[in-house]
Amino acid sequence: MSRPVVFSGIQPTGSIHIGNYFGAIKQWVAGQDDAENIFCLVNMHALTVPQDPDVLRDQTLKLAMLLLAAGIDQTKSRLFVQSHVREHGELSWYLSCTASMGQMQRMTQYKEKSEAQRGEARVGLFTYPILMAADILLYRTTHVPVGDDQKQHVELARDLAQRFNATYGDVFVVPEPAIPKAGARIMGLDDPTKKMSKSAAGSYHAVGVLDSPEQIKKAVMSAQTDSGREVRADPARPGITNLLAIYAAATGVTIEAAEAHFANARGYGDVKKELVEILVETLRPLRERYAELSADPATVTELLKQGADAVRPIARATVDNVKRAMGAL
């Protein structure tokens, strides 16, 4: 058996929060020794909604710094920018000629996002999951670590790969989603019924991974909870359930263990205070390493170039196989 290939992508937009960190980045870092790892800054996905060009460029470099600060190690993993490897756009076209409209119209994230944008939603937003499938399939990926909101998109990549193989012969490796158990879905602190998201407004909505201890404290202490006291995960009490989920994700324990840990808490205030300390300590090394890297952007730029140079031949070989299979080469 050949080594597993892990691929994941993250958009260089908005500020990275603890949902991204526990739901995605932390798992990437932890799994680095067990597989070939390819991590992609998906700036072409970011363009599915309007972006300021200078801001996008800047955020792409900053996100690279953040991932390196979080522990992505270039001796074990490849880190690169999506648009630096033109095969992503190329494969996306061929796949779009195999995907059906019906299949795409079932994508729930598009439905949600496009409703908010009314008639202004871009075609790229609709075909976004095809570009994501291209990202994954280019590298003979076996495992795709993502939060559960992305699971449907990974299923689409599987479906497209299977259908392509059945029609044109075995070209693609069929990938599997790898959904983390704890922290799979961190909710907003201001509204625990909504997913913590990069784009949601409100200063107490999220904890950013680069937030200062004071900012973390303010956001966590003002987190919305109900008027109860008992520290137990319960769908009817989403606020405390979310705090327990964050605690579990940050300390690497189960929700049950988190409940047991707080069995003697006098109320939600105790949970919040301890959670502040844990988050401040968990994020401290990341914040410090990020400050060092930001002082040396040229090195990070060079690293991204090396990452793209290293993965490009794999991507090229896949696209050529696809073109040959389809009769375009």
Q: Which residues bind ligand AMP (CB under 6 A)?
A: 10-11, 19-20, 23-24, 146-147, 149-150, 185-186, 195-198
Q: How far is the CB of 9 from ligand TRP (least distance, A)?
A: 3
DSSP string, 215-238: HHHHHHHT----S-------TT-H
Contacts of 188 (CB under 8 A, 6+ apart): 194, 195, 196, 197, 200, 202, 205, 206
> Cα-flanking dihedrals φ and ψ of residue 141, to 5°?
-65, 135
Catalytic residue among 76, 198, 218, 273: 198
Cα end-to-end span (Å), the chain: 30
Tracing tokens 């375009």 back to the chain, one arrives at 328
From the list 98-106, 129-137, 256-264, 280-288, the region that binds ligand TRP by CB under 6 A is 129-137
From the list 67-75, 145-153, 233-241, 261-269, the region that binds ligand TRP by CB under 6 A is 145-153
Tell me the C-alpha distance between 258 and 270, whole Å.
Answer: 13
Tell me the C-alpha distance between 301 and 35, whole Å.
Answer: 25
Show the site string, 43-82: x = touches ligand TRP by CB under 6 A, - = not: --x-------------------------------------
From the list 146-154, 214-222, 245-253, 284-292, the region that binds ligand TRP by CB under 6 A is 146-154
Which single residue brings its beta carbon nearest to ligand TRP?
9
Q: Is 194 among the catalytic positions?
A: no
With CB under 5 to 8 Å by kind, the binding choice for 7 among ligand AMP, ligand TRP, none is ligand TRP
Query: Is residue 248 a contact partner of residue 178, using CB atoms and an 8 Å limit?
Result: no
Q: Is 198 among the catalytic positions?
A: yes
Q: Is 195 among the catalytic positions?
A: yes
Burial of 266 (0-12, 13-18, 19+ CB in 10 A): exposed
Residues with a catalytic annotation lie at 113, 195, 198
Interface residues with ligand TRP (CB under 6 A) are 7-11, 42, 45, 132, 135-136, 144, 146, 150, 153
